[in-house]
Chains A and B, each alone.
Chain A
Amino acid sequence: MTRSRRFLLLLALSLTLTTGCFGKHEIDDLAMVMAVGLDPGQTPGSVRITAQIARPSDVRGQTGAPTAGSGEPIWTVSGEGDTIMAAIRSIARFSSRRVFWAHNQIIIINEKLARRGIKDALDFFSRNHELRMRTWVVVCSEEARKMVTLKTGLEMIPGVSLHKLFRYSQVVSEAPRTDMRTLSAAYLSESTHPVLARVQSRSRLISVQEGSQEHGSNPQVELSGTAVFKKDKMLGWLDMEQSRGLLWFIEPVESRIVVLPCPSGDPEQNESKNGKISLEIKHNTFEVTPHYDGKKISFTAHLNADIDLVEVGCETNLSNYDLMKQLESKVRAKLRREIDNTVQAAQHTYGVDILELGKIFHNVYPAEWKKISKRWSELFPTVDVRVEIEAGIKSPVLLQKPLQPGK
């Protein structure tokens, strides 16, 4: 075959192979889901799915001032079916674009559905190759449909606001940051049970434009505790204090605020009646050590925290040094109470290992774990968890002494 014939053959082959792309998805043919809500459907056993879909032409322009289209940056739709897939396909009956999951930021599950079990959601979204494993998964006691339609946060698209709420939730450390990856790991774990953040809507938004529709208070989505699961079924909630205690066990706590009443400078008085003090935990190490004497399993949870004094809201004649020394025992007691409450809730209220204690025991005592792993759910409520707190208030932050009136 001559060189020119070979070239022609190659050209002909290229023409047949490059006429188009299999499985192509043009961007303007896609309905990009930004948040999704799962509720029980109207018929028993069914699922209702609510998808918040971005309307790209209306997301342009300045925040709050779309420049084109209908003005609504999102299009929220819902569908119902016996399974999640069937519910999604029911959206396809009226959606002018193909529903596309790659940009979904959050999955909000209604409490009733969560109590029924979330295995179907976990399985479906794990199999969906478009979905990110970083997609947040949360539970709400209200209808998930309402949460998905709520305009919340600073971003044009509420789904993005919710994503950022969790991305930066380390600042408050008050709810677990569970995404598809960590939820799957907890569900598949031999000993640990899943926990999901709880969100709720609460009136928070205040508009400065008098007379506008938004004047007054509008609901915003906020973190409000933790949903506890046994395998895939939700058992109940942890309140905010218990959630704070839980986070030490399951994820790194970057920052925490502890609010305490002002101590009085007068030794006769216990606490100053007015004003409070804010302390910020800046650096910490939290370590759980298992112990096994051949009969009894116990754990020591040791928290070592470096704390800054960030706000003193009372008049005090104490020096910074004395103030900080007096507060140390109080902050230790408060942190211990939080952790004890969480352990109490996990062991006795719900009886499920959400603290990863089984995993820690397994790591240190692998041979013993083999003997007790089948009975861990029975043993977990009986194990002793001792909490040790070392908390040092190290810095008064900028000020050499508390502010006092000069008069």
Chain B
Amino acid sequence: MRVQITNGMLIALIINMVYAKAIGLTQGIMAREAGADMWIATLLATAQGMFVMWVIARTQQRLPQLNFIEHASTLFGKWAGRLVGILFIVFFLGAFGSVMITFVYHLMDYFLPEMPILIFVIVGTTVGVYAIYFGLEVVARFAFVGLFSIIALNVLLMLGSLKDFDIRELLPVFQNGFVHTAVASRHNDTDWAMATMMTAMIYNHVKSPIVCTRSGVLGILYGGLSIAMWPILEAGVLSPEVTSQYIVACMQMARSAEIGLFIHRYEMIMVAFFATSALVQTAMCLFCASLAASQVIGLKDYRPLVLPIALLFGGFGYWTVLDHNQAMNMLSKHWPMVALPLAFGIPLLLYLLGFLRRKKWTNH
């Protein structure tokens, strides 16, 4: 019997999938492009993510028992399904690299500079492998813990930094123009892409597919709200110029926060709470890629492919994070060019081309 997750679990997974990278590395990159408008860029990206999620949900409601690969295979033939599967593997390979950059640079740059990079990669990948070995439901339940951590972190950070908030730092809005801000939102789009692409792979595991459209879109909206707090605070407390200076902007924010005399610098709190979200991301990237690979090859179970995928992804992740310049270059320049055509293109193509195969999905 197929593993099922609740709609609440789907929302938790979506929020976790976008959170860890979106609050830190993405905001630093967007601050360099959009300045104080990075919070607007985040909201624009959220709207785009909601649209793509809606397209995915509408597409999948045609064949609610199938994921995107099976869907493509049913409507357009096996090779089309395989092609979509390979594109999904490529996407999650890149996504895993971006998650590793987030995970490793948070921990290594601020806590354990002497630790070999390989250890971070092994730990991150091993936890992901261990989680998905027990199936999607385990990761989905873990995402609830991640959701609690995200809420706790947001509340703590707000308490620790609101007193230094200066709204003037957010003004004037659209100082670099709407187009420039919208273009900068592509970096946050890559975060939403991880959530939408994941949903395309696990949609058929959700208990109530009818409610799923709402859950998916709401997941993106809630995730967007939990993330939007960060660029607003980062610009208002640190200033957009300072935010743009750092690789991991959210850790700089954590270094500046304090509650009263007793709770100084939040780095430890931050890592404790954010790590859950990062580990959910590694687990889901590995899960979706293993599932896609098993469907490309034609295996019934994804588990035999977990280890090879983990080795491939781990190796790629290690190579990516070895050099900070290379990693940031990949994240800010190359990754959006790979992620966005896939994340926007596959759902839109399947949705639109699906109308040409209306008979097939109505008969199915």
Residues of A within 8 A of B (CB): 22-23, 126, 129, 132-134, 181, 184-185, 188-190, 359-360, 362-364, 366
Is B238 interfacial (CB-CB < 8 Å)? yes
Question: In the complex, how many angstroms separate the beta carbon of A170 from the nearest chain B beta carbon?
Answer: 12
The answer to whether A181 touches B242, judged by C-beta atoms less than 8 angstroms apart, is yes
The answer to whether A366 touches B175, judged by C-beta atoms less than 8 angstroms apart, is yes
Is B311 interfacial (CB-CB < 8 Å)? no
Other 8 A-B pairs with CB < 8 A, given A22-B116, A23-B115, A181-B238: A22-B112, A133-B252, A133-B255, A181-B164, A184-B239, A185-B238, A185-B239, A363-B172
The size class of the interface chain B forms with chain A is 20 to 34
Residue of chain B at shortest CB distance from A181: B256
Docked Cα-Cα span, A362 to B241, in Å, equals 15
The answer to whether A184 and B242 touch (CB under 8 A), given A22-B119, A129-B109, is: yes
The answer to whether A188 touches B256, judged by C-beta atoms less than 8 angstroms apart, is no
Is B114 interfacial (CB-CB < 8 Å)? yes
Residue of chain B at shortest CB distance from A126: B245
Question: In the complex, how many angstroms separate the beta carbon of A248 from the nearest chain B beta carbon?
Answer: 15
Q: Contact flags (1/0) for B192-212 with A, using CB distance below 8 Å? A: 000000000000000000000
Question: In the complex, how many angstroms separate the beta carbon of A202 from the nearest chain B beta carbon?
Answer: 27
List, sorted by A's number, 29 A–B pairs whose CB atoms are closer than 8 Å.
Answer: A22-B116, A22-B119, A23-B112, A23-B113, A23-B115, A126-B245, A129-B109, A132-B255, A133-B252, A133-B256, A134-B256, A181-B237, A181-B238, A181-B242, A184-B239, A185-B238, A185-B239, A185-B241, A185-B242, A188-B241, A188-B245, A190-B241, A359-B168, A362-B172, A362-B175, A363-B168, A363-B172, A366-B172, A366-B175
- Most B Cβ at <10 Å: residue of A126, A190, A360: A126
Q: Contact flags (1/0) for B251-267 with A, using CB distance below 8 Å? A: 01001101000001100
Question: In the complex, how many angstroms separate the beta carbon of A14 from the nearest chain B beta carbon?
Answer: 12
The answer to whether B242 touches A132, judged by C-beta atoms less than 8 angstroms apart, is no
**CB neighbours of B111 from chain A (8 A):** 23, 129
Instruction: Select B114's contact among A22, A126, A133, A134, beta carbons within 8 Å.
Output: A22
The answer to whether A22 touches B242, judged by C-beta atoms less than 8 angstroms apart, is no
**CB neighbours of B256 from chain A (8 A):** 133-134, 181
Docked Cα-Cα span, A364 to B175, in Å, equals 11
For the A-B complex, the count of residue pairs with Cβ-Cβ distances under 8 Å equals 55
Docked Cα-Cα span, A141 to B86, in Å, equals 67
Residue of chain B at shortest CB distance from A164: B261
- Most A Cβ at <10 Å: residue of B111, B239, B265: B239
The answer to whether A23 touches B114, judged by C-beta atoms less than 8 angstroms apart, is yes
The answer to whether B115 touches A22, judged by C-beta atoms less than 8 angstroms apart, is yes
Docked Cα-Cα span, A362 to B170, in Å, equals 11
The answer to whether A188 and B239 touch (CB under 8 A), given A129-B113, A181-B256, is: yes
Residue of chain B at shortest CB distance from A22: B115
**CB neighbours of A126 from chain B (8 A):** 245
Is B171 interfacial (CB-CB < 8 Å)? yes
The answer to whether A134 and B242 touch (CB under 8 A), given A366-B172, A366-B175, is: no
The answer to whether A189 touches B241, judged by C-beta atoms less than 8 angstroms apart, is yes
**CB neighbours of B255 from chain A (8 A):** 132-133
- Most B Cβ at <10 Å: residue of A126, A181, A359, A362: A181
Question: In the complex, how many angstroms separate the beta carbon of B162 from the nearest chain A beta carbon?
Answer: 13
Residue of chain A at shortest CB distance from B168: A363
Docked Cα-Cα span, A134 to B110, in Å, equals 16
Docked Cα-Cα span, A133 to B110, in Å, equals 13
Question: In the complex, how many angstroms separate the beta carbon of A120 from the nearest chain B beta carbon?
Answer: 16
Identify which of residues 160-217 in chain B touch chain A, using a CB-to-CB cut-off of 8 Å.
164, 168, 171-172, 175
**CB neighbours of B245 from chain A (8 A):** 126, 184, 188
**CB neighbours of B175 from chain A (8 A):** 362, 366
**CB neighbours of A359 from chain B (8 A):** 168
Question: In the complex, how many angstroms separate the beta carbon of B187 from the nearest chain A beta carbon?
Answer: 21
Docked Cα-Cα span, A360 to B167, in Å, equals 11
Docked Cα-Cα span, A303 to B165, in Å, equals 21
Identify which of residues 100-114 in chain B touch chain A, using a CB-to-CB cut-off of 8 Å.
109-114
**CB neighbours of A181 from chain B (8 A):** 164, 237-238, 242, 256
The answer to whether A363 and B264 touch (CB under 8 A), given A22-B112, A23-B114, A129-B110, is: no
Residue of chain B at shortest CB distance from A167: B261
Question: In the complex, how many angstroms separate the beta carbon of B284 from the nearest chain A beta carbon?
Answer: 23
**CB neighbours of A190 from chain B (8 A):** 241
**CB neighbours of A134 from chain B (8 A):** 256, 258, 264-265
Docked Cα-Cα span, A360 to B237, in Å, equals 16
- Most A Cβ at <10 Å: residue of B109, B241, B242, B255: B242
**CB neighbours of B109 from chain A (8 A):** 129
Docked Cα-Cα span, A366 to B278, in Å, equals 38
Please name the 10 residue pairs, one residue from A and one from B, whose CB atoms are nearest each other, closest first: A188-B241, A23-B114, A366-B172, A22-B115, A185-B239, A363-B171, A133-B256, A23-B112, A133-B255, A129-B110
Residue of chain B at shortest CB distance from A370: B175
Docked Cα-Cα span, A240 to B279, in Å, equals 54
The answer to whether A188 and B116 touch (CB under 8 A), given A129-B110, A134-B264, is: no
**CB neighbours of A364 from chain B (8 A):** 172
Identify which of residues 109-128 in chain B touch chain A, using a CB-to-CB cut-off of 8 Å.
109-116, 119
**CB neighbours of A363 from chain B (8 A):** 168, 171-172
**CB neighbours of A366 from chain B (8 A):** 172, 175
Docked Cα-Cα span, A362 to B35, in Å, equals 13
**CB neighbours of B164 from chain A (8 A):** 181
**CB neighbours of B172 from chain A (8 A):** 362-364, 366
Docked Cα-Cα span, A129 to B252, in Å, equals 9
The answer to whether A132 and B264 touch (CB under 8 A), given A181-B242, A366-B172, is: yes
Docked Cα-Cα span, A189 to B242, in Å, equals 9
The answer to whether B265 touches A132, judged by C-beta atoms less than 8 angstroms apart, is yes
The answer to whether A188 touches B242, judged by C-beta atoms less than 8 angstroms apart, is yes
Docked Cα-Cα span, A189 to B258, in Å, equals 24
Question: In the complex, how many angstroms separate the beta carbon of B243 from the nearest chain A beta carbon?
Answer: 10
Residue of chain A at shortest CB distance from B110: A129
Residue of chain B at shortest CB distance from A364: B172
Docked Cα-Cα span, A360 to B172, in Å, equals 10
Residue of chain A at shortest CB distance from B115: A22
**CB neighbours of A133 from chain B (8 A):** 252, 255-256, 265
Instruction: Select B239's contact among A23, A132, A189, A360, beta carbons within 8 Å.
Output: A189
Residue of chain A at shortest CB distance from B172: A366
Identify which of residues 218-255 in chain B touch chain A, using a CB-to-CB cut-off of 8 Å.
237-239, 241-242, 245, 252, 255
Docked Cα-Cα span, A360 to B242, in Å, equals 18
Docked Cα-Cα span, A199 to B198, in Å, equals 57
Question: In the complex, how many angstroms separate the beta carbon of A216 from the nearest chain B beta carbon?
Answer: 33
Residue of chain A at shortest CB distance from B254: A133
Question: In the complex, how many angstroms separate the beta carbon of A181 from the nearest chain B beta carbon?
Answer: 5
**CB neighbours of A188 from chain B (8 A):** 239, 241-242, 245
Docked Cα-Cα span, A133 to B239, in Å, equals 13
Question: In the complex, how many angstroms separate the beta carbon of B232 from the nearest chain A beta carbon?
Answer: 16
